[in-house]
Structure 1
Amino acid sequence: MPKHLGDAVLCLGALRLLAAVPGSRVRLVCPSQLILDLLADQGSWQRGSAAFVSAKYSVAVLLAPSMRVALAARKAGLRQLIGLPSDGRGWLLSQRVAGPDQALPSQGLPSLLPGEHQADAYERVARHVVQSLVGTERFGPADRRYTLGAPGRDRGRDAWLSTGRPTLLLHPYSAGLATKRWAMNDWLELGRLLRSAKARPIVTGGPGDEDYRLAAELGTALEAPVLAGDSTLSPAAWVSLADCVGRQLLCDTGLAHLAAAAGLEPIVLFGPTDPARHAPSGGTVVWGGRDLSCAPCYRSPCAAALPHACMGHDPDEVAGLLKLRAGPPPGAV
């Protein structure tokens, strides 16, 4: 399993295809306990583990595309390895899964990137496995939905009530490439516009220092409640909070994928990365790199002649998108 939140959410369709094979016992392997906890109740698979467990006749389905994962499976004694031959690991695989006939352009991009949308790539691997095991040639659409359980729903709703029933969720941090983040000055300008529209924002973030710093800076400037650092919600509780709030604005981050998989419609600001590969399954993607010759790009720091032009989203335009969804939040009672 991939260890990043967004990639793990995009695996849901593939995991359910594998779990539907008669007589199969699917065990999730992921170094992130947060991911294992999030997906534990999403399908008929066994409780996951952080490392591969060798067992006779076991098949290791490598959804994570790296060489490191393939080497770990071999080291654990597994001999049947199936996956995409990415990152130069083809020689380690017992079955190589072919990519799409018409792959997305990849020149100058990292070798780990798929030639299609990431969810489609995961499901391509799963369909290959199912066909090789049971000979099935026809597949229905994979179920990519995330279903929120009662504990997460209750915690998120409690957070919404205790913070004054906010009507707009802002999440300024994006892990990985710093170039995926919208400038703080733009967040602050957006906040000024939203205050004039009488929106009641809440700012969320994660437990990391930089994550918390950005959330706290924005929350303080907007005089808005902040849930970050020690008050960070679990992903499931965050989805429930986002549902109660009703409107969400994020950069390209894993929580955007989780929100979309849960049936929400977040507004997601994309910049250097490629929406054709990484867009959430729902909501509105605003891609600042659409008309730039240097995009998509996965470099950091930015080396463009006009640095960070791909994240130059106009706060007025973003505010306009948010106002289109004005009205009582879906979770309001």
Structure 2
Amino acid sequence: MALKATLLKRLDAAVGPLLTWLLPKRGLPDSLPSPLRFLVIRPGGIGDAVLLIPALRALQETFPGCSIDLLAESRNAAAFQMCPGLNRVLRYDSLTQVASVLRTPYDVVIDSEQWYRLSAVLARLVRARRSIGFCTNDRGRLFTDPVPYTLDDYELLSFFRLLAPLGVQPPRGTSAPFLKLPAGAKEGARRLLAPLEGRSFVAVFPGASVPEKQWGEDNFRQVAEGLVAAGIAVVVVGGDDARAVGERLARGGVALNLAGKGGLMESAAVLAEAGVLLSGDSGVLHLAAGLGTATVSLFGPSDAEKWAPKGERHVKFTSSLSCAPCSRYGTIRCSAGACCLDVAPSEVTAAMLRLCEKDRRP
């Protein structure tokens, strides 16, 4: 049975600091000319998992024939189906599978968690000659190679900092598609999109992980109505958090509601077919960018420089409030409410239409 994310966070707060200081400090790293067995730890949501995949692929390219085990939570593990060549994807929130990892020897363990301590404790307990992780707090003492973490880097590039001790270089560009859909995902997407009868469309994700990131149903409705008036079909995507909004938009005749339908891979295949995605700061946003889909993103409490996709096919809107962005290490300190709300739907609609027009050009 998987441990819930909220329980993991409570455990981290309760015992993480104590365990961090009770465990002996790691010594100097061993010299490993050609490591072959890696364990990479990635708790958290889909967005972080997606942005880690370019680093995993670079690790595979730098060390041909290496074996990479991935330890992920149940809520983000499916994202790694889009990273071919991994040996195993195990569950960080399963005590049985964690025990299996602790019995397995590795050359290198890489903890990609940015802040919480339990993953660093686990990395310290794994039988590995070398361990790498972010030193955002006292967790850094548990690694042979503690790596600085900065809020100034695009998060995709932050993960490449973890590979620097192994001589892996970051990419020159960060806008190229880097996700690969597994076999069968496209067929599932075709079934979901059948009501459109082959028409081109844009995708809209009206959900948000926290209230402060929500833009408002009426704003999404106005954008959808503007796109439909311009002859562009609208598809609502997302999980159960977006289902109710999607149903209301569908009843109003402005969208096809696919929220809560199909699994993550079918949803990803729908995003790959979309002309543009409209989304707040979310895992859906990073999925679309990783698949090569143009995006329009809405950033209020989150830092767009840190999290927004890069490149000319990605347009971002940020809050004009002086207190934004207020999010630090995943914690939002918001006193103004949903600070995306000062972005006008007409501006967002115009940006989506411009991106659609670019895609139509020969």
TM-score tier by shorter-chain length is: 0.7 to 0.9
Distance change (3 Å), C-alpha of 1:294 and 1:119: same
The residue type paired with residue 181 of structure 1 is Q
Q: Provide Cα deviations, 1:216-260, integer angstroms capped at 9, x if missing partner.
A: 23333345321123x2x3333223223333232111111111111
How far did 1:184 drift? 1.3
Separation in 2 of the partners of 1:323 and 1:160? 21
Q: Indicate the residue corresponding to 2:28 in structure 1.
A: none
Q: Is the 8 A contact 1:179 1:301 kept in 2?
A: no
- In structure 2, what is the equivalent of residue 169 of structure 1? 203
Are 2:158 and 1:124 equivalent residues in the alignment?
Answer: no
Matches within 5 A, 1:186-201: 186-201=219-234
Give the number of aligned pairs.
302
* Cα displacement string for residues 162-187 of structure 1 (whole angstroms, at most 9, x for unaligned residues): 44445222110122x32112111211
Corresponding residue number in structure 1 for 2:243:
212
Cα contact 1:191–1:222 (8 A) shared by 2: no
> Structure 2: which 5+ runs fail to align?
1-41, 93-97
Question: In structure 2, how many angstroms separate the alpha carbons of the residues matched to 1:314 and 1:42?
Answer: 37
Aligned twin of 2:281: 252
Q: Structure 1 residue 185 and structure 2 residue 218: aligned?
A: yes
Matches of residues 75-90 of structure 1 in structure 2 within 5 Å?
75-76=125-126, 80-90=130-140
Per the alignment, residue 9 of structure 2 pairs with none
- Map 1:172-321 onto structure 2 (within 5 A): 172-175=206-209, 177-206=210-239, 208=240, 210-229=241-260, 231=261, 233-282=262-311, 283-289=313-319, 291-298=320-327, 302-304=334-336, 307-321=337-351
Distance (whole Å) between structure 1 residues aligned to residue 86 and residue 194 of structure 2: 34
> Does the CA-based 8 Å contact 1:160-1:244 persist in structure 2?
no
In 1, Cα distance between equivalents of 2:308 and 2:137: 22
Could you say if the C-alpha distance between residues 50 and 326 of structure 1 is closer, same or farther in structure 2, counting changes exceeding 3 Å?
Answer: closer
Matched, 1:25 2:67: yes
| Structure 1: stretches of 5+ with no match in the other structure | 104-113
* Higher-strand-fraction structure: 2
SS at 1:59's partner residue?
A: strand
* Structure 1 residues 219 and 153, CA gap change in structure 2 (3 angstroms): same
Aligned residue in 1 for 2:95: none
Equivalent position amino acid for 1:158 in 2? R
Which of the residues 44, 67, 77 maps onto 1:3?
44
Match of residue 48 from structure 1: 89
The sequence identity of aligned pairs, in percent, is 25
Question: Which stretch has the larger CA shift, 38-47 or 315-324?
Answer: 38-47
| Cα separation, 2, equivalents of 1:326 and 1:41 | 26
Amino acid paired to 1:28? L
Of 92, 96, 109, the match for 1:60:
109
Aligned-pair RMSD on alpha carbons?
2.8
Distance 1:211 1:80 in 2: 42
Matched residue of 2:294: which SS? Answer: coil
What whole-Å deviation, never above 9, does each CA across 1:286-315 have from its counterpart, x for those lacking one? 2222x43201112657303xx434432111
Q: Is the 8 A contact 1:17 1:127 kept in 2?
A: no
Paired with 2:184 and 2:358, the residues of 1 have a C-alpha distance of: 24
